[in-house]
Structure 1
Amino acid sequence: MTSRPAVWGRGIGLVLLLSAALGAAYLGGRVTAQRPLVTSDEINTVEVTRVALPATVRVDVRIRDDALQQGEDPNDTGSGFFYKKNLIVTNYHVVQNQESLSVTLSDGKTVPAKVVGIDPGIDIAVLRVTGVSAPKVLGFGDSSRLIPGQKTIAIGAPLKYQNFISTGIYSAATLDLQRPDNLGGEVGEYMLTTSMIQGGNSGGPILDSRGAVVGVADANASPSQLVPGIIGVFIPANIVKQSLSDLETVGVSQRGTLGVTFQDLANLDPALLRLSGLSSSNGALVSDVPAGSAGARSGLRGSLKNNEGQLVTLGDVIVAIDGARVTSSYDVIRRVATKRPGQAINLTVWRNKKEVPVKVTLLKRTLAN
């Protein structure tokens, strides 16, 4: 218990010493800057955030009792931003277990909010506020044009500190990001940034140097739960724009889905795989095929289970989509989600110890499914 005060003590001492040294340098004439904004990058950051801050909100959530673990705080926060005069984008995981909601504007005013649209597949939710019109709205940019090394600006309420600004760069896109909460499984590619994204940033805007929203802050990547995440993860703006359009016009996202459930081969008994002639755990086992689904209409076969829920016979195993091999059910879901209703995809499935082609025409999603 003595190490934390000692570290903080040394940190404050260092800051004070540096401040004194810089002050002496300025008074002594060794620092020539005569105004607070010196570089073009500083000027850009200030200009972008000055415009964006009024559009950014803190989302204040009261969590339902049945969603809490013993001793957990029922109050949580996230971030969001106005994209229309009374509509706010945030993450679905921020409001998933809410009992009540409000948003706090950048000037400190708090107003009630209501969830009016959800898209768990990409972890997005839409809130409507009453009693206020957006002080500012943010527009979306084209996330497909992001270049590694390009500047990013994150605004949100990490650790409940509202109007917190962090700059960094866009680093890369990644396919290899599976989440423990089973949300966001239809994000084709997540994007990574060095801009800081911590608890409370979720749902806030990721901006480029033009002030356009190129993504929605979602999480941070860490090697384990014991190590703080230092890599920011955001949802690309292009799929968010598509989702918002679908939610407003149809009420549900219109990304592709087979409508079936899966199991990963890696979780099955190796002996069962060998009996089915499978030599690899790559692929996705079709578990259940609901009637009327795109999978059912194309003739996909589900697995058979006994009364105790144990697998007796394996159904089709999807091993490739449009000729590209797949590794897991997550891989299948995200690849299919890049398509739209009416489009056809060509599956390769393992059936009766051989590969069989299956063509699937994707169906329009409805609120019922």
Structure 2
Amino acid sequence: MRALLLVLILALASCSDRTAAPVIPAALDIGTNRDVFIGTTRGVNDAGEYGIGRSTSLNLLQATVSLPPGRALGTVSDGQERPKLDRDFVIAGLDRYPSDQSFRAALEADIRSQPAGQREVTLFVHGFNNSFSDSAFRLAQLVDDLEIPGTHVAYSWPSRGNPLGYEYDRDSALFARDGLADLLRLIRSAGQPDIVLVAHSMGSALVMETLRQLEIAEPGWTGRNINAVILLSPDINVDVFRSQFSRIQTAPDPFVVMVSRKDAILRVSSRLRGERSQLGNIENADSVADLPITVVDVTAFTDRKSGNHFVAGGSPALIQLLRRSSDLDREFLRGRPGTVLTIPGARRIRAPVRVTDNTIIPGESR
């Protein structure tokens, strides 16, 4: 228990309230710019920014995120209310769409501007303890580091953006289901693009609840409209996940779950619930082996400097593996036994990554 509390204290000490989201146009000339569409169910606060309040309306925007020059692979630096333009991620521009129709037109134009074969939409759903700007920054970082093609959309649900706001966030994730369902339908209506749905931590629980809700209303919706699902460190009880998944008539292929046995944040989440683990830090894939999903164990890419709660976006070695999603063979993601994917340039890994019984097992770390 002392070790558990120490982990919790360290996790809280490494975080702070990050609700500020200043827009600084001067950053456009400093770093690399990435455009991100945003759907949010956050309310506007007294400062005119999207804060922690819950809005029943889905607000639609487009942000230009400036990534600082010389940034290390896998890093995000948030200067909060006083960012340094040469060091921090900054919202350099923010446009609000007055209607669903105007958002759809802009989204469809962006999709059509992409090269043939890359006209897909990656929708990212953030996790616990995220501000409005956090979701845009993280998606911009993933797009830049992983060289994700296509059009990029973030769903910013009303997290408190505070490490002490776990219960508030859990309620907000439930509140945000309708907004995510509306955003998914809106994206799909913009020229029927391929949709890759990516979620992190508590955002994975939100995604699964939303897909369950859509399936109850219209059986088969997920399989007809979502091309791939990737859950990163999902903060979901395994039994709950199985119940949610059972509602999906036809699962997207691939459906990937990335886990780490050294995820300190999920270890705390599990202990607070009196459970051995959450889905994102299961010891093995036995409990979900009968489901048509691929479990990717990224424990070999963890380190001692972080809580290992976002390994897919923070490990330089793993980023090299995942870079350019178009290069990842679908047979690999589907978990076909015997498929091998080597990691070019990743010196930490001695052996190739192999797929066995729907579990991807990395080679030994040096």
Same fold (TM over 0.5): no
Structure with the greater relative contact order (CA < 8 A, sep ≥ 6): 1 or 2? 2
- Output the TM-score relative to the length of structure 2: 0.27
- Output the TM-score relative to the length of structure 1: 0.26
More strand per residue? 1
Q: Which has the larger radius of gyration?
A: 1
